[in-house]
Structure 1
Amino acid sequence: MTHNVLVVDDEPKLCDLLSSALSQNGIQVFTASNGLHALKVLEQEDIDLVISDWRMPGMDGPALLAEIKVRFPQLPVIVMTAYSTVKNAVQSMRNGAYDYIAKPFDIDELDITVAKALQFRDILRDNARLRAELDHHAQFDSLVGDSPAFRQVLHAIDSVRDSNATILLTGESGTGKEMVARAIHKHGSRADKPFVAVNCAAIPEGLLESEMFGHRKGAFTGAVADRVGRFMQADKGTLFLDEVGDMPLALQAKILRALQERVIEPVGDPRERKVDVRVIAATNKNLLDAVANKEFREDLYYRLNVFPIPLPALRERAEDIVPLARHFAQTLSATAGKRITGFSPEALQAMAAYSWPGNIRELQNCVERATIVAASPVIEDIDLPAYLFASRPAEGGLTALLGDNPSVPSDLDAALAEVEKTYILAALHESNGVQAAAAAKIGISERSFWYRLKKLGIQVDKIVR
């Protein structure tokens, strides 16, 4: 790989000497007579390293270094200085120089210093390239999943993240709408600006306008100081309006004007304020039904629905349940100070068979609970909440046990325990009391089988007598 080095010195002979020495190592050398000339070269050429003199007419070495750190922060700079001013070179390193060389310099020493600086530059470029690749391929951080339904969501995020279009995220509660909104912001052109989230359903109606647009001191009772609203807080960034379907009609008109005109008026202040905000709205309601019922403004709906992204329920992306569970176990175990390495096959089967009406949020809560109660690094089915198994009928004989029209039990837990005990006793009889064989018959682990024996008070030695 050929590197480009810029030599900056007001002595033409020194520039020629350095050009000749560096060219022998396959380096292409550019020269400049002072700092201003160097900046012009940097704007036109892809430079990998700058070697600059300390004292020059016009813009000197320290001034050039400061400007490079602002305009080209990843570009290494080597400072040349006389032996009598080494302390100045040390100061320049504190100001961001990669290294310095003292005049008169040894060519071998120069080659070594330049080689290290160029290697450093290559490492920075490789890291930047890898970060870019990871950003593109990492499925937007915590957005885990590879099902066809979720790949459509990822494709939509990738398409819209750099635009300023208003986005409407729809889907059931718990499908990850805020995570998607944060991913769009983080990987878009406004990533270095604020992300401000507002739950429209959680703020009292009387305070919502002040929360959104801010207020002046004395605008109403309790307004003891000026307040900056969420629109101004998110200026140049992203404003996330969660549960937008619960926004009062009176406020909807003002939100519509803010989106159309890009101006707001704080409560108690007649002056308009310009805002530059990218809005992402989210709802678990059917806004078209709300429009038909006069509960949501039609014009605001179309203003929000510029780029709709529907999020699938977890049951519609069943292939993602296991990867999501493993992702949550990894992150939550670190928070809980436990070492969780994975799930038993029985636990994975139980989670994959459940319908998850609470979607990703319910799955995360389930894994968090299992992480806390797990007695070993592997989460077993006994560590999972009981409700995961309540909706799953046993194969074959449940009707025989309960009859065609079973009555509603007064104690469901006790009734389920009796059903469980019946199957375990039958498995033990069929396997002549061999617990491993009995566990295999009903499809659970030996540890889980032993736990159930203890919970239900079953003594195996009495069964096989």
Structure 2
Amino acid sequence: MSHCVLVVDDEAKLCDLLVSALAGPEMQVLTAGNGLQALAILEQNAVDLVISDWRMPQMDGPQLLAEIKQRYPRLPVIVMTAYSTVKNAVSSMRNGAYDYIAKPFDIDELDVTVHKALQFGDILRDNQRLRDELQAHRHIDSLVGESPAFSRVLTAIDSVRESSATILLTGESGTGKEMVARAIHQHGSRADQPFVAVNCAAIPEGLLESEMFGHRKGAFTGAIADRVGRFAQADKGTLFLDEVGDMPLPLQAKILRALQERVIEPVGESHERRVDVRVIAATNKDLLQAVADKTFREDLYYRLNVFPIPLPALRERVDDIAALAAHFARTAGADAGKRITGFSDGALRAMLQYPWPGNIRELQNCVERATIVARGAQIEEADLPGYLFGSAPVGQPAGLVPSAQMGIPEDLDATLAELEKGFMLAALQESQGVQTAAAQKLGISERSFWYRLKKLGIQVDKIAH
């Protein structure tokens, strides 16, 4: 495996010596005269190890080490100095240095230390890659379904996953646009590179440009340190722009330029930086209507709409509801320490007849709530929320039916939380405050019960016996 090492020292002769000693077919060696130059090189190059002097002008070794640990936490650093004191060694190791060597040093000893540090860095990167893959697979597993409507989505994913074409995912809220974006990334040629998601509707308008492109320290009030933007974070990987239809017009022009020319310019910086980013955008809005209304740039729309993938609403893929519900029940059951084997005929029939205006997200919330309240291994009608029936199903406590039974709740998560809290309180009342007994009544583990007590803010000592 080839590596790149950055040597930082204000002595040019020492830099040349280390280049001669370390450079080879599998080792590129870059040099910098101080910490500021080193940071500039790190922004432009994929470096696997930094070997830094302790005392340097402008930015010394300790300052550079602190910046590296903040910006590149998995990048190993070896500190070297002629002022080899125990104090310096302990300080550098405590602040995150991989190792410490003293000048003058033996080249063979340095070579061993460098290769150990590179192996350490490789392990850290491999571990992070495996964690990212595991997280991505959780989302890929959620792409459940064989209905004709969803099969067309899967075919489109397979067609475009290996390319770098810009993709526009459209569909109602809750149809799984981010899960599809992650699946495209994970099964494509950039799978081992970053996947960076940005919700354009969740970031204040005044911070969007800084969020996307980064900024330099002092660029504006509150910019107390340099910030790497999302485009730079996603370099060589995938940038997912969710709710792109909510992006303000001034930023749209800059996004268009970044897509066309593949360059960005952080706020407060005078030079551009080239990036290689595959963009997947998503929206639940009619962008053509937004173009007609002059709220979305026409040129940006066509730049994003290179490969459109419309996602069907859940009511258009009824054949997938049973499989999706089973998948969510398995996942929720594992998290709650319960084994859910399936749904009763009545419960499944109720789910198939409900129109699911909140789509997959609403179905997932519904199944998670049913999993919590289910007393057996099978989810029954009584375990489902009342709004699926228009009223409470037989056997469900009337006092715990959500107010949404007369309509769709404005905040489903809050409604489900209130329901969960009601069942927890009822179980505690019936158990006279004995938590183990209350957990047994709800069919969940004690650990899961305690977690929910804390999450819902329930004080057991205040439960009336």
TM-score normalised by the shorter chain: which range applies? Answer: 0.5 to 0.7
SS of equivalent to 1:267? coil
Tell me, yes or no, if structure 1 residue 290 matches structure 2 residue 290.
Answer: yes
How many residue pairs were aligned? 263
Output the CA distance in 2 between the equivalents of 1:188 and 1:368.
31
Q: Aligned residues: percent identity?
A: 80
- TM-score under structure 2 length normalisation: 0.55
The equivalent of 2:233 in structure 1 is: 233
In 1, are the aligned partners of 2:391 and 2:405 still within 8 Å (CA)?
no
2:148 aligns with 148
The answer for the alignment partner of 2:273 in structure 1 is 273
AA in 2 matched with 1:192: D
1:157 aligns to 2:157 (yes or no): yes
CA distance in 2, matches of 1:140, 1:179: 7
2:235 match: secondary structure:
coil
Tell me, in whole angstroms, the C-alpha distance in 1 between the residues paired with 2:234 and 2:391: 45
Q: Secondary structure at the match of 1:372?
A: helix
- The whole-number CA distance in structure 2 between the counterparts of 1:195 and 1:412 is 37
Alignment-mate amino acid for residue 203 of structure 2? I
Cα distance, 1:332 vs. partner? 1.0
Residue 141 of structure 1, CA deviation: 2.7
Q: Tell me what 1:334 maps to.
A: 334
Aligned-residue Cα RMSD (Å) equals: 2.3
Q: Does the CA contact (< 8 Å) of 2:140 and 2:182 recur in 1?
A: no
Shift of 1:142: 1.9
Following the alignment from structure 2 to structure 1, what is the Cα–Cα distance between the partners of residues 308 and 188?
17
1:390 counterpart SS class: coil
Cα distance in 2, alignment partners of residues 214 and 181 from structure 1? 23
- Aligned: 1:222 with 2:203: no
Provide the C-alpha distance between the structure 2 equivalents of 1:381 and 1:250, rounded to a whole number of angstroms: 51
Mind listing any 5+ residue stretches in structure 1 that lack a counterpart? Answer: 1-94, 96-134, 394-410, 415-465
Report the structure number with the largest CA radius of gyration.
1
User: Which residue matches 2:348?
Assistant: 348
Question: Aligned equivalents of 1:413 and 1:379: distance in 2?
Answer: 19
Given that 2:387 and 2:404 are in contact with CA atoms closer than 8 Å, whether structure 1 keeps it comes out as no
Cα distance change, pair 355–364 in 1 and its aligned pair in 2 (3 A): same
Q: Structure 1 residues 142 and 412, CA, compared in 2 at 3 Å: closer, same or farther?
A: closer
Structure-1 separation of matches of 2:248 and 2:404: 42
> Is residue 170–residue 311 contact of structure 2 (8 Å, CA) maintained in 1?
yes
Change (3 A) 1:140 1:155: farther
Structure 1 Cα separation of the partners of residues 387 and 149 of structure 2: 27
Secondary structure of 1:327's counterpart equals helix
Q: Check 1:350–1:287 CA distance in 2 against 1; reply closer, same or farther (3 A cut).
A: same
Q: Secondary structure at the match of 1:189?
A: coil
1:433-452 equivalences in 2 (<5 Å): none
1:64 alignment counterpart: none
Report if the CA contact (8 A) 2:216-2:268 is conserved: yes
Kindly tell me: are residues 171 and 413 of structure 1, through their superposed partners in 2, closer, same or farther at Cα, counting changes over 3 Å?
Answer: closer
Partner amino acid, structure 2, of 1:206: G
TM-score with structure 1 length normalisation? 0.55
Task: For residue 340 of structure 1, give the secondary structure of its aligned residue in structure 2.
Answer: coil
Deviations 1:360-408 (A, max 9, x none): 0000000000000001110001000000001899xxxxxxxxxxxxxxx
| Cα distance between partner residues in 2 of 1:373 and 1:392 | 14
What is the rounded CA distance, in whole Å, between the counterparts of 2:284 and 2:166 in structure 1?
17
Give deviations 1:303-325, integer Å, cap 9, x for gaps. 00000000000000000001000
Aligned to 2:389, the other structure's residue is in SS state helix
1:369 — aligned with what?
369
Q: Which residue of 2 aligns with 1:77?
A: none
Cα distance in structure 1, aligned partners of 2:139 and 2:158: 10
Q: Is this contact kept in 2: 1:177–1:282, CA < 8 A?
A: yes
Indicate the residue corresponding to 1:169 in structure 2.
169
